[in-house]
Each structure stands twice: as C-alpha cells, then as structure tokens.
Amino acid sequence: MSRRLSTLTGPLRQLDGGVMFGAVPRQLWASWIAPDHNNQIDLASRALLVQQGRQNILVIAGSDGLLAPLPRTCRCQRHVAGLLDSLDRHGLREEDIHVVVMTHLQVHMSPELQAAASDGDIPRLLFPRARYLVGERHWIRARHPHPLDRSLFVPQIIGQLESSGRLVLVDSNTSELLGPGWHFQTSDGYTPGQLLPEIDMPGGKVVFAGDLLPGSHWLRLDVTSGLDRNPECLVDEKERLLDHLVAIGGRLVLARDPEVAMVKVCRDRQSRYQPFDQHVELSRLDS
C-alpha cells in the first residue's frame, strides 16, 4: 500500500523549562532552548498526517489537538494558525480525516482553555467523521487517573470521546482499522500505556515519538522531564527505542521540538545518541 507522510503544526505551546528538563541545570537547558523572563519555553504542537489509499490518518500527542479553536471574542484578536490551517494547506478539511491515532490523552491547557473548562464550556472535538484510536491501558488510566496527573486529564474531553461512538481501543501491537504496515510500541515512562506508532516506509520505518522523546535534546538518556511518571522506566524505554532505530536505520518524528520535525539517530564514539539528517518539516514523504 502506498503511503505519504507529512507533518502538521499547531500553535506553539509554552511550558516551564525547568519542568520540561527535570534535573538538567538551567544553565545547560537554557542554552538549548532559550526561556522567556517567566522561564517558559516554546514547544511545538506537531502532528503526523499519513495518507494511505483513500484514508487520511492523523497521529497526535495529547488530546489538546482534538479541540476546536476557541472563538475570538472581538475582531481585534489576531488569528492564531492551528492544526486546521495546516490541514488546509494540504487541501484537507477536518471532515476529511478518517482516523485519529492518539499516543495519549493528557493535555496542557492554555489559560483561555482552562477558563472555558472551568465555565463548563469546553470546545467540541474536531474531526467529526474520524474514529479515535487510543491504547486500552491508557484509556483505563484516563478514566481513573492518579492524583499526580489527574489535572492533565480533562473529564469533558474524556466524556466527549466516550459518547462519540467512534472510540476504538487498542490492546495489541497492530490495528485492523489501520491495516498492515502499522505497529505499536507501548511506553509507560511518561504516562502508562502511551502508544508509539511505527509505520513501514520503503526508506525505513518511521516512529512517532509522542512524549517519550519530545525533542532532539531528549535523545540524551539522562534528560527526563518533571512530567514523567516513571523516569527510570522512561530512560530504559528510550534506550530500547533508540537502539532499535539505530539498528534498522529508522526515523523519528518529534512532536514538541520547535526546530526539528524528523531525525535519524546514530551513536557516536562515546556511545551517545546523536541526531542527524534533520528535517525542519516533512512534506509529502512518499512510499
């Protein structure tokens, strides 16, 4: 089956740099991604569009990409380009998406979205014709979150997914909905049951790294974030995934890196993982 891969971009998100880089000293991580005066760093909201046969499949990390944009309250507000604008540049509307693969359901809401959720006015889910594909173990976590990450699961989003009638739970490393050429690895370090899709392409397998490996700076095994539920487990999972990619010459799509969309990975003479063949964006990688 022929496939075409493209990366899509949503609005930049801001998170505390100290949280994102965990125990890494500020002097070091600030040389990688410059923070603002509030210690916030810009992170991408990158999705992967897979076009195969007559299917348009979207892979996203976190459930914030599922939400319709908040309406502007006045004409003076500038339009912030989002995922739908990126889709439009590929000649697609939200109704043209057949499947949305979600690595996990956690969400980091903007202040505006937090206010809307507090008022009970959470936006609708995008992609009204799509099946929403989620890992079964992660769905259980989302329905019954731990106190440490409860705030990252928005009940209104979980409720909309459940009532949509289009939720598909994955309990194996393949999916009939996606067909051959799709394989899922499961990661528990960032959040239990995170799905990592691996897609067969003639030039080598492509893995969407979700929040296991948010960006190229997290290729270092000792770099974890304060959001990781099990950092030691996450380091082991990173090492296994990176060894796998080095062995097969695979490529890695990075969901959060503000400058790099896709990389290959090698090991240097000190056995450290290094990115190479970096792409700022991926536009129509064909099989």
3-state secondary structure 192-253: CCEEEEEECCCCCCEEECCCCCCCHHHHCCCCCCCCCCCHHHHHHHHHHHHHHHHHHCCEEE
Q: Could you give the CA distance from residue 269 to residue 57 in angstroms, rounded to a whole number? A: 39
pLDDT of residue 254: 98
Neighbours of 239 (CB within 10 A): 12
Nearest-5° angle of CA 208, CA 214, CA 215? 100
Of 129, 192, 197, 132, nearest to 159 (Cα)?
132
**Strand pairing report for 131-135 and 206-208:** unpaired
| Average pLDDT value for residue range 235-242 | 97
Q: Which residue is listed with tokens 């889709």?
A: 87
pLDDT for 286 beyond 80: no
| Average pLDDT value for residue range 175-203 | 96
Of 212, 185, 180, nearest to 197 (Cα)?
185
Q: In this predicted model, what pLDDT tens digit does every residue of 248-272 receive, in sequence order?
A: 999 999 999 999 999 999 999 999 9
Domain count, the chain: 1
Q: Which residue is listed with tokens 């099989």?
A: 287
Asked if residue 138 lies in contact with residue 95, where contact means CB atoms within 8 angstroms, the answer is no
Band of residue 71 on the pLDDT scale cut at 50, 70, 90: confident
| pLDDT more than 90, % of the chain | 83
pLDDT of residue 182: 97
Of 86, 74, 166, nearest to 125 (Cα)?
166
Q: Could you give the CA distance from residue 266 to residue 276 in angstroms, rounded to a whole number? A: 7
Q: What's the token pair of residue 16? A: 């505390």
Instruction: Quote the radius of gyration of the chain (alpha carbons, Å).
Output: 18
Q: Could you give the CA distance from residue 281 to residue 24 in angstroms, rounded to a whole number? A: 27
pTM of the entire predicted model: 0.94
Q: CB-hemisphere CA count at 13 Å for 116?
A: 19
Band of residue 193 on the pLDDT scale cut at 50, 70, 90: very high
Query: CATH code at 149?
Result: 3.60.15.10
Asked if residue 177 lies in contact with residue 99, where contact means CB atoms within 8 angstroms, the answer is yes
Asked if residue 92 lies in contact with residue 130, where contact means CB atoms within 8 angstroms, the answer is no
User: Chain-wide mean pLDDT for the chain?
Assistant: 93
For the chain, the 3-state helix, strand and coil shares in percent, each to the nearest 5, are 25, 25, 50
| Domain, as residue range, for 254 | 3-72+79-286
Q: Could you give the CA distance from residue 228 to residue 211 in angstroms, rounded to a whole number? A: 9
Band of residue 111 on the pLDDT scale cut at 50, 70, 90: confident
pLDDT of residue 287: 52
Q: What's the token pair of residue 133? A: 């594909």
**Strand pairing report for 251-253 and 262-267:** antiparallel
